[in-house]
Amino acid sequence: RSLVPFKKRRHDKSAVWPVWASPIQTFVIPHSHMDVGWVYTIQESMHAYAANVYSSVTEELSKVKERRFIAVEQEFFRLWWDTVASVTQKKQVRQLIKEGRLEFIIGGQVMHDEAVTDLDDDILQMMEGHGFLYETFGVRPQFSWHVDPFGASATTPVLFALAGFNAHLISRIDYDLKDTMQKNKKLQFVWRGSPSLKSQQEIFTHTMDQFSYCTPSYLPFSNRSGFYWNGVALFPDPPKDGIYPNMSLPVTKETVHAYAKTMVENIKQRAAWFRTHHVLWPWGCDKQFYNSSVQFNNMDPLMKYINQNSKEFGVTVQYATLSEYFQAIYQSNLTWEVRGSEDFLPYSTEPYQAWTGFYASRNVLKGVARHASSKLYAAETLFARYRISFPDGPVAKDWALDKLGALRWAVSEVQHHDGITGTESPKVADMYQQHLLQAMMGAEELLAALFLLPHNLMTDVDQALEQHVIVYNPLAWNITTIVNVTVTQPSAAVFDDDGQPVPAQIQGSAHSNATYDLFIVVELGGLQYRKYLIKFPENSKAFEAKAASFERRSVKDRAKAGRRLLPVLSECYELLFDQDTNLLHSITYLEEKRRVMITQDFWEYDANGDVKAGPISDNYIFSANGSAVRAYKAVEMEIIPGKIVTEIRQYFYREESDKDYAYSITTRVPECFGTKLPCHRLEQTYSLGPLSLNTEVVLRTSTSVKNNRTLYSDDNGYQMMKRTYRKFTNNTLARNYFPMVRTAYIEDDLSRLVLVSDRAHGVSSQTDGQLEVMLHRRLWNNLQWNLGYNLTLNDSSVVRPTLWMMLGSVSATSKLYQREAVQLQHRPVVILISTFHTTSQTLPKRGSLLRSVVLPPNLHLLSLSVPGWNYCSNHSVHLNLHSQPDYDRILLRIMHLFEEGEDPELSKPVTINLKEALQGMGEVKGVEERSLTGTWDVTSLQRWKWKTQRTRDDNFTVTISPKEIRTFFVHFVSRNF
């Protein structure tokens, strides 16, 4: 994976380098690429090599002042610092950092994926690492090293700019595009990733050349592995004698000239692709520098020899950190080409190697990771509110911060580019999932404690007759929505905290014959919770919905389609279902009385698993073996009409006579008449699996929308990207797949069909009017490299992703989809508390003392948390502050959801007074604006300005422009109740 594409890539030996007025200045940057996961678990990697990297690098850098090293993934460094490093090593590290010889790059917990990660989680994992580095060493990373993510998103440079970075580095972009950029010396540019923020958050970007982040492994005079003198890491245990396989030929008097010639030729080849006479020469690769003495003791004399003969070679070399390289580029004072908000997705390494399969690999892990992120968001906001209202309350603050810290770590870790991507081995996927599930259990304990402990509830109740539910809205918006509670009784009555009956509906569960779905209409203020009492009398007050079944229909009978149409109505839509196919026929959005023909069903691509028979699909790559075929032969349907929701259940059978269905769609249409329930949202949950081996299954939504195969999908839930269908000489189908993290839509002049998702998927529009979402993959192949690392994707799980669908005019849906995507991500948290032995009299009423906090509709409360960091802006002071965490510093992050010009009203800048907006939480006494990850005071943040073709706010009033994210430390007046 990390190495394979480069081994396969052709190296252009014909490049001609220019004659420079001065020697080419080469910055040799020692680094080790350490995957937080992938083939081996984190524990295995720490034991086999990762701990040795930092131990040996610390020792070797301390010996020779010219040596340098960049540290990238903070998870490994933090594990080493906390569990391995001696007092002496810690002292040496502090000195190396002070001298600028050990430099932290990116500074996040991981090198996050860019295609399938969500904005919330990208920020979180960066903040986790940045907080540790600032608190421990007083340093703030200012450069990125995104060398291995599979494609580059336009959101990442925006986030790095907001975090205070001065330059960004990427590597994996489409092979033919990289070739063109190399030839035209356009590998470096200034990137304005956001079309709304433009130059406000631009960042200089360096694209690595065709050799990428690994030192060339080819030596013309030896069959060993180039400049990796310490060889290949060994699992499970490092060799006791320090002798590893494939250690390279030592640098001696006999070999130094041959080594120098090889290195210089490569440097000159690279120099021809860039505009300045500075060359970034990365020295390292995956799992390198665990035996740094061997590395440096060979490179030292080699570099000395090149510099002694620099006139002959036309090259000088020096050890460098990344900041030293970028400083040299900055001082060259050139004028740079500007790149707009387009991204580098999808990514291909060769004609039949489109890395678009990982958008959908390991659907279960993708879902658990997003669910964990959502749980963390809810727990963070509730604990922050609790700390403000009950600073001396009974929930132990150190215990609470430990629970939050564990989930922060687990959610951060899985953002790794071989984690949430689904490109890891099965045991590593299991590791991520185990960490997430364990940490989520801790967060649920914290939520329960925050809801219950302030009120000293310890009264028994007969659980057979009643159940108590607390529903918490973690968003800073007022909401009216439906929550689903699973119960074991066939009838129920629901009451609010004032004892008033609440609209509810009960029906048989779609997934179990032993349970029932109880739908409850809840109204909640921003950041508020309410208690509901469920009673189970024989005479239910909840509407009991009964199913109407429709007989199984074969696909052979499609000729009869369209004659018997069954309507399902809501205030927004009329849905027509075809009784002759049991499929959706059309949807009319009633406000404009416009009908759109829509059919939804499942199709599958057959994947080749034999490398001798042609291109394969695997964890990474989607290489379709022809067009998709229908994945079923017959469909059954049930419709359950209700007073709150009408549910349509469609079951798809592989064969007409199969007893069990292979796929299903459950569509919930809200019956909103006379309520505040939003009617534009059609909630769909799917069931897929187990799949047949070597199949990739898609949900195909075929419509009468004239989109000309153009679709829009989001970059990381932050911004929408236009995806124009392109024809290629090879692999056109797979190269027109794109990542969908939260949102995708197709549109024409009259209508737009929007899907928002609870996890990442691949999405495409292969024919006019079609929106195709890849939901699940199960693959096996005989590629020796995949077999050796156990990187096949024989995923036999059943997956149940959720999509919400909206249909309407472009202007109507423009007002909705951003908020809907956020509301799907952060649905109300439902806590069943019958096991806590409480009664309705002792439970808190109406969110207790929690007053609502409501932001304007175009602003989203991106974060509200207690980071717990202990530092002050004066570094010399804060490095001695290793006592108690700071529980009173509240981190607030607010985002404007809309693009400039997207909506006549909602796209306008919004001015709010934070003191007034947050008064529902408490009295604000101070606000300090910070960089994205909280480590810079924005008044002291001076990012580099590059040559290319606002006013300050008062203390509490801030203006937030389209797509802007602003971060604050907020201090509240202390109070207790």
pLDDT above 60 for 848: no
Looking at per-residue confidence, does 462 or 879 come out higher? 879
* pLDDT per position as a tens digit, 517-534: 999 999 999 999 999 999
Check residue 266 and give its pLDDT.
Answer: 96
Whether 966 contacts 162, CB under 8 Å: no
CA-derived radius of gyration, the chain: 29
Looking at per-residue confidence, does 974 or 844 come out higher? 974
Show Cβ contacts of residue 532 under 8 Å, excluding neighbours closer than 6 positions: 468, 469, 470, 471, 494, 495, 496, 497, 502, 520, 522
pLDDT above 90 for 461: no
Check residue 625 and give its pLDDT.
Answer: 78
Instruction: Let me know the angle formed at the C-alpha of 929 by 924 and 933, rounded to the nearest 5 degrees.
Output: 115
* pLDDT per position as a tens digit, 857-872: 999 999 999 999 887 7
The DSSP 8-state label assigned to residue 247 in this structure reads: P
What confidence tier does 38 reach under pLDDT thresholds 50, 70, 90? very high
Helix (H) or strand (E) holding 613: none
Lowest mean pLDDT among 348-362, 466-480, 577-591, 835-849: 835-849
Size of the chain, expressed as the number of residues it contains: 977
* pLDDT per position as a tens digit, 883-924: 678 899 999 999 999 999 999 999 999 999 999 999 999 999
pLDDT above 50 for 839: no
pLDDT above 90 for 263: yes
Which among 117, 322, 122 is positioned nearest to 932, based on CA atoms? Answer: 122
Check residue 545 and give its pLDDT.
Answer: 85
Give CA–CA dist 30/251, Å, rounded: 17
What confidence tier does 954 reach under pLDDT thresholds 50, 70, 90? low
First to last CA, the chain: 57
Count of beta carbons in the 10 Å neighbourhood of residue 246: 12
pLDDT above 80 for 399: yes
551-555: long-range contacts (C-beta < 8 A, 24 or more apart)?
551/636, 552/582, 552/634, 552/635, 552/636, 552/653, 552/656, 553/580, 553/581, 553/582, 553/634, 553/635, 553/636, 554/633, 554/634, 554/656, 555/581, 555/630, 555/632, 555/633, 555/634, 555/635
Lowest mean pLDDT among 535-539, 674-678, 755-759, 763-767: 674-678
Catalytic residue among 148, 343, 497, 618: 148
Instruction: Answer yes or no: 148 catalytic.
Output: yes
Show Cβ contacts of residue 659 under 8 Å, excluding neighbours closer than 6 positions: none
Which among 253, 261, 252 is positioned nearest to 221, based on CA atoms? Answer: 261
pTM of the model: 0.94
Whether 289 contacts 56, CB under 8 Å: yes
